[in-house]
Protein backbone atom coordinates (compact mmCIF):
# COMPACT_ATOMS: atom_id res chain seq x y z
CA UNK A 1 0.00 0.00 0.00
CA UNK A 2 1.49 3.31 -1.10
CA UNK A 3 1.35 6.43 0.99
CA UNK A 4 2.38 10.06 0.65
CA UNK A 5 3.90 12.45 3.15
CA UNK A 6 2.04 15.75 3.56
CA UNK A 7 3.95 19.00 3.86
CA UNK A 8 4.36 20.71 7.21
CA UNK A 9 1.90 23.45 6.25
CA UNK A 10 -0.77 20.88 5.38
CA UNK A 11 -0.26 19.16 8.72
CA UNK A 12 -0.38 22.49 10.57
CA UNK A 13 -3.69 23.34 8.91
CA UNK A 14 -5.04 19.90 9.83
CA UNK A 15 -3.92 20.34 13.48
CA UNK A 16 -5.65 23.73 13.65
CA UNK A 17 -8.86 22.27 12.18
CA UNK A 18 -8.82 19.23 14.48
CA UNK A 19 -8.32 21.36 17.60
CA UNK A 20 -10.97 23.84 16.44
CA UNK A 21 -13.53 21.07 15.87
CA UNK A 22 -12.80 18.91 18.93
CA UNK A 23 -11.23 21.20 21.54
CA UNK A 24 -9.12 19.33 24.07
CA UNK A 25 -7.84 15.95 22.88
CA UNK A 26 -6.88 13.47 25.59
CA UNK A 27 -4.24 11.36 23.83
CA UNK A 28 -1.55 11.56 21.20
CA UNK A 29 -3.06 8.65 19.25
CA UNK A 30 -6.50 10.30 19.14
CA UNK A 31 -4.91 13.59 18.05
CA UNK A 32 -3.12 11.83 15.19
CA UNK A 33 -6.35 10.11 14.12
CA UNK A 34 -8.16 13.47 14.04
CA UNK A 35 -5.33 15.06 12.04
CA UNK A 36 -5.38 12.13 9.60
CA UNK A 37 -9.14 12.57 9.12
CA UNK A 38 -8.55 16.21 8.24
CA UNK A 39 -5.70 15.29 5.86
CA UNK A 40 -7.74 12.55 4.16
CA UNK A 41 -10.27 15.17 3.09
CA UNK A 42 -7.62 16.43 0.66
CA UNK A 43 -5.79 13.20 -0.23
CA UNK A 44 -6.58 9.70 1.04
CA UNK A 45 -2.97 8.54 0.56
CA UNK A 46 -1.55 10.89 3.21
CA UNK A 47 0.11 9.38 6.30
CA UNK A 48 1.69 11.06 9.31
CA UNK A 49 3.29 9.76 12.51
CA UNK A 50 2.21 10.59 16.05
CA UNK A 51 5.61 12.06 16.85
CA UNK A 52 5.52 14.41 13.84
CA UNK A 53 2.07 15.71 14.81
CA UNK A 54 3.19 16.30 18.43
CA UNK A 55 6.43 18.04 17.49
CA UNK A 56 4.81 20.29 14.88
CA UNK A 57 2.04 21.29 17.30
CA UNK A 58 4.63 22.22 19.93
CA UNK A 59 7.14 23.85 17.59
CA UNK A 60 4.53 26.10 15.96
CA UNK A 61 2.80 26.94 19.24
CA UNK A 62 -0.60 25.63 18.10
CA UNK A 63 -1.44 23.76 21.28
CA UNK A 64 -0.51 23.48 24.90
CA UNK A 65 0.52 19.95 25.72
CA UNK A 66 0.12 18.55 29.21
CA UNK A 67 2.63 15.74 29.72
CA UNK A 68 2.00 12.89 32.15
CA UNK A 69 4.78 10.42 32.85
CA UNK A 70 6.10 7.62 35.01
CA UNK A 71 9.50 7.12 36.59
CA UNK A 72 11.78 4.42 35.27
CA UNK A 73 14.73 2.67 36.85
CA UNK A 74 17.40 4.16 34.62
CA UNK A 75 19.28 7.36 35.44
CA UNK A 76 18.57 10.57 33.56
CA UNK A 77 21.13 11.95 31.14
CA UNK A 78 21.26 15.54 29.97
CA UNK A 79 20.53 15.95 26.30
CA UNK A 80 17.58 16.18 23.97
CA UNK A 81 14.03 16.39 25.28
CA UNK A 82 12.04 13.22 24.47
CA UNK A 83 8.89 15.27 23.86
CA UNK A 84 9.93 18.09 21.52
CA UNK A 85 13.60 17.44 20.74
CA UNK A 86 14.75 20.65 22.43
CA UNK A 87 17.67 20.93 24.82
CA UNK A 88 17.13 20.15 28.50
CA UNK A 89 18.55 22.41 31.20
CA UNK A 90 19.93 21.21 34.52
CA UNK A 91 17.97 22.09 37.64
CA UNK A 92 20.42 22.83 40.42
CA UNK A 93 20.16 23.43 44.13
CA UNK A 94 22.71 24.85 46.51
CA UNK A 95 23.96 22.63 49.31
CA UNK A 96 24.55 23.62 52.91
CA UNK A 97 28.30 23.60 52.26
CA UNK A 98 28.11 26.06 49.35
CA UNK A 99 28.31 23.59 46.47
CA UNK A 100 25.63 22.78 43.94
CA UNK A 101 23.76 19.59 43.22
CA UNK A 102 21.77 18.63 40.14
CA UNK A 103 18.32 17.38 41.11
CA UNK A 104 16.70 17.16 37.67
CA UNK A 105 16.37 18.46 34.12
CA UNK A 106 13.77 20.66 32.42
CA UNK A 107 13.06 21.51 28.79
CA UNK A 108 12.67 25.25 28.24
CA UNK A 109 10.58 24.73 25.08
CA UNK A 110 7.76 22.40 26.12
CA UNK A 111 7.98 22.18 29.91
CA UNK A 112 8.94 18.49 30.18
CA UNK A 113 10.87 17.78 33.38
CA UNK A 114 12.53 14.78 34.95
CA UNK A 115 14.31 14.00 38.19
CA UNK A 116 17.44 11.93 38.67
CA UNK A 117 15.50 8.84 37.57
CA UNK A 118 14.36 9.09 33.96
CA UNK A 119 10.70 10.12 33.61
CA UNK A 120 9.06 8.43 30.61
CA UNK A 121 6.21 10.37 28.96
CA UNK A 122 3.07 8.20 28.88
CA UNK A 123 0.18 10.56 28.09
CA UNK A 124 -0.10 13.79 26.14
CA UNK A 125 -3.19 16.02 26.44
CA UNK A 126 -3.54 18.60 23.66
CA UNK A 127 -5.49 21.81 24.24
CA UNK A 128 -5.88 24.64 21.69
CA UNK A 129 -4.12 27.93 22.45
pLDDT digits (tens, 9 = 90+) for 76-122: 887 899 999 999 999 999 999 999 999 999 998 898 999 989 999 99
The full DSSP string for the chain is ---BPPPHHHHHHHHHHHHHHH-SB--HHHHHHHHHHHHHTT-TTB---HHHHHHHHHHTT-EEEEEEEEEEEEEP-SSB-TTT--BEEEEEEE-TTS-EEEEEEEETTT--EE-SEEEEEEEEEEEE-
What is the pLDDT at residue 1? 61
Residue range 38-43: mean pLDDT, rounded? 94
Q: 126 pLDDT exceeds 80?
A: yes
The model's pTM: 0.86
Q: 128 pLDDT exceeds 70?
A: yes
* Percent of the chain predicted with pLDDT > 90: 84
Instruction: Report the DSSP beta bridge partners of residue 121.
Output: 69
Mean pLDDT rounded to a whole number for the chain: 93
Amino acid sequence: MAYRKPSDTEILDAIKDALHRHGTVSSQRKMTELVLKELHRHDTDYAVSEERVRRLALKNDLATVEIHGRDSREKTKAGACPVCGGKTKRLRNQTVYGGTVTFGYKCSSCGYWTGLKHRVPTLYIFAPK
